[in-house]
Structure 1
Amino acid sequence: MARTVIIESHGGPEVLKLADRPVGDPGPGEVRIRHHACGLNFIDIYQRSGLYPMQLPAALGMEAAGVVEAVGEGVAHLRPGDRAAYAAMPPGAYAEARVMPAAQVCPLPDGISFEEGAAMMLKGMTVQYLFHRTVPLKAGDTVLFHAAAGGVGLIACQWAKSEGITLIATAGTDEKCALALAHGAAHAINYTIEDFPARVRDLTGGRGVDAVMDSVGAATFDRSLDCLRPLGMMISFGNASGPVPPVNLGVLSAKGSLQLTRPTLFTHIARREDCQTMARTLFGKVTSGAVKIVIDQRFPLAEVAAAHRALESRATTGATVLIP
């Protein structure tokens, strides 16, 4: 048996329940992993609230790190006793232990702690696909990154600096702007007191940025289009403020033949080979020191509702982990 966080109905943090669930043995292509730390992400909130509907009852959580206890037939890249971390479907990472598909479970280097592993997989591989698989960015390019003081954002700030990419950060307080700057952002904009499209135009000499990376959604989408250069790429990869309303494609034409995409990490890591390669790139960034994983909040698994409230209220910086 393993303590597991489940929901039996969609709603607020109060629907989160801790239940004892049987774990069992892994079948073909599966692995059993005992978690030492579990990651917290906005997608967990979307699933809990019903923005991303789930078949109920359902377990929550998309990333974790721990030790492999058993592997099923056909699993060659992991062995019992291996340290491992993952971001993967299906949900169920808020648990002491679980059985799950092995393809997206990755061997965790000894130089990376379990807490770092749990805090970095979904967020770090998201940054990897944003910078390497969504648009061909190169040294000298400029990007606008919203919510830059969060878990994904602080990795993105460091990643951009390590590759010679100018990152303009936005955040909701001066303190969060300072945090983004301390982690490699070239510029930071407090969007609560500044007109961020006007400031972006000033910072880029009127040209605009090559790409916008936006996990905020409804509150920032329209004005983000005004930050792009002609032929620039709008990457909407989350909806912390709510989903983006339907888009008139003619607006993209009028604003400079802009490009628009709504990617998801789970498309990029669907193939085992792609996932393992992306993870190795991320691990290399971390073990080299180019990217440091910032964990500013830790909650016991039993206090998962408090963790959700903190994330939803924008009271967190960096990453948050749950400790089983």
Structure 2
Amino acid sequence: MNTPTKLAGFALGLAVALGGAAGIGHAVGPIGGPAPAPMHHTAASGAEQPGSAAGHGNHDMGEAGSSAATGTATEETPGGLMVSQHGYTLEPAARSLTAGTSQTLSFVVRGPDGKPVTGYTPTHEMDLHLIVVRRDLTDFQHLHPTRDAAGTWSIPLTLPTAGEYRMFTDFAPAGGQGLTLGADLSAAGNFTPQPLPAPAATVQTDGYSVTLDGTLEAGKTSKLTLTVSRDGKPVTDLQPYLAAYGHLVALRSGDLAYLHVHPDGSPGDGRTAPGPGITFYATVPSAGDYRLFLDFKHGDTVHTAAFTAHAEAGSGQAEAGGDGDGHGDHGGHRH
């Protein structure tokens, strides 16, 4: 999958939260707050449930949730911050790879019984979604590994440059809740962390222009529409990709709390046009900077657009001024 221009630290406030065929996304918990409440899911299978007052389903692919009745975020454990959660543990075979070289990344997900999980409930046509991102959010890959009969997942992976990376496994075990587990990877060598790109309403990727319309406010559901054009003309023939016209992954700057958002509507539902606009409903509970990565398919190729966005503090919300380690304002990259 190609990784063009990276779009945005939860782009424009973070198209943050997930939903399949009509979904409000999962909310990321506040930084530096009290210990989060236990995760609650509305369905064991991770399927979408009737959503907020806006009428959009809540997609249980992650770990945090939102209140359907009020549209406000609940303070639950953000996805991807833990290697082990609810009895499931992510175990990479190796955490150190060589930059610029294709190597096989292998891992297992162990269940509560200590054995590798071999049964999964498909989510958007896949048993497991793998996201690999450099910690400064300058590289993003959305991958789909294969699993053998013993439960080991494998995929060729190239970490393009030296640096620290984070892998996320987004899945729903058979009969269980949707989870996102995360683990660190590294590629040895000299590297200089890059600052978070400034927010921008329009980004370029592979000859396409993608424009983000909408703003995020912490604790509220926000409507975000991403519009795709090429050569100055709107793209009206987007192709389905994993049962949707677009997929949005949002990562919170600093701690890389993870959200996977799917758009309102789905291909073939009789009401959703194949472009140029893709609409998401995102809920972010904490103010701060985010990076958004939009995947869309056109011309039989998957393209990725990346945005940086800042979520403003809502009523009663404080600015998320930490980086997850108490070091303040994300390195000074406030927007």
Q: TM-score, normalised by structure 1?
A: 0.26
Higher helix share: 1
Q: Higher Cα Rg: structure 1 or 2? A: 1
Q: TM-score, normalised by structure 2?
A: 0.25
Higher strand share: 2
Higher RCO (CA-CA < 8 Å; seq separation 6+): 2
